[in-house]
Structures are given as C-alpha cells and as structure tokens.
Amino acid sequence: MTTFKDRVPDAAPAAPKPVTQGKLTLAEIMEILAGGRLPLSFTAYDGSSAGPPDAPLGLELKTPRGTTYLATGRGDLGLARAYIAGDLDVHGVHPGDPYELLRALAGELVFKLPPPRVTANIIRSIGARHLRPIAPPAQEGAPRWRRAVGGLRHSKTRDAEAIHHHYDVSNGFYGWVLGPSMTYTCACYPRLDASLDEAQENKYRLVFEKLRLREGDRLLDVGCGWGGMVRYAARRGVDATGVTLSEQQAAWAQRAIADEGLTDLAQVRFGDYRDITETGFDAVSSIGLLEHIGVRNYPSYFGFLQSRLRPGGLLLNHCITRPDNRSEASTRGFIDRYVFPDGELTGSGQIISAAQDVGLEVLHEENLRQHYAMTLRDWCANLVEHWDEAVAEVGLQTAKVWGLYMAGSRLAFETGGIQLHQVLAVRPDADGRVSDLPLRPWWTS
C-alpha cells in the first residue's frame, strides 16, 4: 500500500498583486490564493490566465463544475475531483505519471487564506452556486461516517469491502502496472540500474533469507496478494500458505501455482488472516498488510501472528510507515476516498513497541524508503507504456486515479513524508531463549 502528502516549502511566497473590489477572474483568484507565485501556467474557461505563459507545466480549468469541485473539496479532494472528472487538465506531463507537475506544486505552491475582505470578494466573484457541494466522480468512495453502515472500522466485513475497493480493480490492469512479478509492494533494488522485476525478486530473496527458511519449513504469508512470496518459497522446497481478502488475487494466485507445478507445496486462500487455524509455522511474513489493520488492533494482530509461530519461529513485517510516532494514523482526503479506505499509518516505533508488548523479540529493522520511490517510478513508467490498454481495461478516470496516486506517493517517499520499514522478530521459547539464531544478521543486503 502507498499514500502521499504535500511538502511545504521553506521559501516565503512573493507578494500577491493588488486586489481590486471588482469581480475577479478565475486566474486572479488563483494568483491571490497562491500568494502571487505560480510555478506553472494556469488558464481557465473564463478566458483568464496566470503564471509564466511559457512554463513547461500547466493547469487548465475547463468547466464551471471544476470550479465547484475546487471550491467545495477540502484539502486535496477538490483538485483530485476536478482532475479525475476531466474538469481540470494538466499539461506537460502524462496522466499515467504526473510526477513532475506534482513536484512543482509541492515544492513551490502554497495556498494561503487571504484577508477577510479579499476572501469575501473571492466568494462574490465565484458565485454562491459554486459553493454548494455536488456529486463527486463515481470512483470516489463513501465518507467514513457513511461507511459505518458496513460495520465498525477494521471489522472483518468492513475490511473485506476496503480490500475489494482497491485490489479487485482488475488483474489485467494490475498486470500492466506491476509487470510480470504481479507484486504490489516495495521492491528492493540491488543496484540503481536494476529492473523492476529483478528488484521484486530480490525483495522476496531478502525476506526469505531474513526468515531463515529452509527446505521442509512451513511459511504463512498473510495478505499475500497474488502469491509472489508463496511461490518464491515453494520453489525452494518450503510448504507455503498464503491468505488474501481479494477474491481476484486468490484466483490469479491459484492459477499461477498450478501453472508452475507447485500445488504440492503452495496454496493461496481467499479469506481473512484471522481465520487461519493452523499453528506451528516456522515463519510468518506480512508484506503490505499492516496498513489495513488499524493501530488500535496492533496488539491483537501481533498476538495472533505470534500464536501461529512455533517457539523460535521468525516474523517479518513489511509496511509503509510515517516518519514519526506522533502523527494521526488515519489517512484522509484523496487517499482515503479514492485509494485506501480506512488505511492507517504510524511510525516504526509504534510497530516495534506493539510487537514487543505481545512477547515477540525484535531482532532488526530497516527503512527501504528510497526503494519504494524507485518502485513507484517504475510502476508509473509501466502505466505510461501501457496507457491505452489500461484505459481500455478500467476506464480513463480510474487510470488517472492511479497515475495521480502513484506519482504523488513517489514524491512523498523521496521527500521523507512516508517511509517503508521491515521489522524482523522472533518468538522466544518458554524460557525466553532464541539460542539457535546466529549472533549477527545472517542475510545479505
């Protein structure tokens, strides 16, 4: 899972142009809100324009409906709604990878509320009709208060619906974006020039080695996606069981297991990880699941995974984190409504504490933040390359959601707004011993 947030620049904006009391054009309103400094060109359907006319990047507000979305959407929702609906066009970037435009916006554009007199003039110029909310694009999920009818947050029913919203888009679409590995988690690049598929294979190798898996061992992979880790382990003689709440993922993984002749060792189940009854696993991997669990459920989550392990068994948790342990966990705005409903992120410190508090002994943790930025770069490149096929598969609006989400997330990983941590832990035996482990890390980087 990924998410993004804007980076606020350090430089002070330039002074805005003087404001008259007459009706303002849309471009004048944009200049006022941007403090007089636009890093790109802006044109609007009323014929007005602002910003450098020769700028390589630009925004075009095409319809009155776009003005309504911008005026009524809180945070990044207004921009996202107008863009996804086609009321706001971007110039100078491909919709499958608007990274350069987002970088310009995050680096130089800071919207500030003007003085009350100017704000009143802006409202008069926009018109009351544009201040009444309208229906968002069909791709937008329900607000949190409305989701409550589907059950409490992170109940089995509501979690299943959230996973369905994001992961059951289309296996064909994911194939265009993710490439042959069908792996929708952070890769680990052995070299700067490594391919995406090489980096995903290397990520599975890293997890496999950290878990000290050997032929004949038993692995449980929770939130297994399309079964990449399960099949990697089974090819090396490990009895691997995966579980996913996405029916489409499970069906694809089951076919891939059969096609590779791995059915004697590998299985992927469609269901909730909490329904796994087997115990005594030598290792448990959780790659990209914790973001969906909910921070208040960490104790039960780590307690459950510990109960599936044999004494001395190893657990690896791989997930997106915040750069601190104080920020609010819940995602909001565009990410919550269009990408990951009910997603929650917290700092690696809270994750380590939760694992320790149920009796797991944390052995190692590392941050792969830069690797996730590179992974998203390559996913966007795939989407651009296969744009026509992707649009034919899921529609233009959904494809635009993914380009916006992945490019924005890349920017957030590059600038440290979010991170990716792997935490390795062991279940000590009844006497608190883990004596069969090497004294120092045993895997290669």
In this structure, what token pair is assigned to residue 144?
């949190």
pLDDT of 203 strictly over 70? yes
Q: Are residues 91 and 221 in the same domain?
A: no
Q: Where are the alpha helices (DSSP H) in 340-419?
A: 348-357, 369-385, 387-394, 396-415
115: Cβ contacts below 8 Å, ≥ 6 apart: none
In the block, tokens 């009444």 appear at 132
Query: In terms of domains, do 209 and 325 share one?
Result: yes
The answer to whether residues 118 and 183 belong to one domain is no
Which range is least confidently modeled, 103-107, 131-135, 171-175, 324-328?
Answer: 103-107
The pLDDT assigned to 330 comes to: 80
Task: Give me the half-sphere count of Cα atoms (radius 13 Å) on the Cβ side of residue 249.
Answer: 30
**Structure token digits, residue 140:** 């937008």
Q: Residue 15: is its pLDDT beyond 60?
A: no
Structurally, how many domains does the chain consist of? Answer: 2
Among 12-26, 141-155, 277-291, top mean pLDDT goes to 277-291
Pairing of strands 41-44, 281-287: unpaired
**Do residue 262 and residue 229 come from a single domain?**
yes
Give me the chain's average pLDDT, please: 90
Instruction: Answer whether residue 166 shows pLDDT above 70.
Output: no
- Confidence tier at 169 by pLDDT (50, 70, 90): confident
Torsion of CA 398, 402, 408, 411, to 10 degrees: -170
| Percentage above 70 pLDDT, the chain | 89
Task: Say whether pLDDT at 417 is over 80.
Answer: yes
Q: Which residue has the tokens 């994001």?
A: 166
Kindly state whether residue 4 falls inside one of the protein's structural domains: no
**Over residues 350-363, mean pLDDT:** 98
User: 176 and 325 share a domain?
Assistant: yes
pLDDT band of residue 371 (cuts 50, 70, 90) is very high
Of 201, 211, 210, whose CA–CA distance to 281 is shortest? 211
Same domain, 277 and 377: yes
pLDDT tens-digit profile of 381-391? 999 999 999 99
**Same structural domain, 369 and 253:** yes
**Is 223 part of any domain?**
yes
127-131, 216-220, 316-320, range with the lowest pLDDT: 127-131
Average pLDDT over residues 379-407: 97
DSSP annotation of 92 reads S
| CATH value at residue 404 | 3.40.50.150
Domain termination site, one of 75, 98, 131: 131
In this prediction, residue 6 carries a pLDDT of: 39
In a domain, 384, yes or no: yes
Answer yes or no: is 69 within a domain.
yes
User: 140 in a domain, yes or no?
Assistant: no
Q: Is residue 441 included in any domain, yes or no? A: no
Q: Which residues contact 110 (CB under 8 A, 6 or more apart)?
A: 8, 9, 13, 34, 35
**pLDDT, average across residues 363-381:** 98
CA dihedral angle for residue 12, residue 15, residue 21, residue 22, rounded to 10 degrees: -100
Q: Are residue 218 and residue 112 in the same domain, yes or no?
A: no
390/252 same-domain check: yes
Q: Do 276 and 331 have their domain in common?
A: yes
Question: Is residue 321, in this structure, part of any structural domain at all?
Answer: yes
User: Are 240 and 164 part of one and the same domain?
Assistant: yes
**9 within some domain:** no
Structural domain that includes position 175:
156-426
Residues 126 and 274 in one domain: no
User: For residue 8, what pLDDT band results from cuts at 50, 70 and 90?
Assistant: very low
Of all residues in the chain, what percent carry a pLDDT higher than 90?
Answer: 77
- Is-above-0.85 flag for pTM? yes
C-beta of residue 334 within 8 angstroms of C-beta of residue 77:
yes
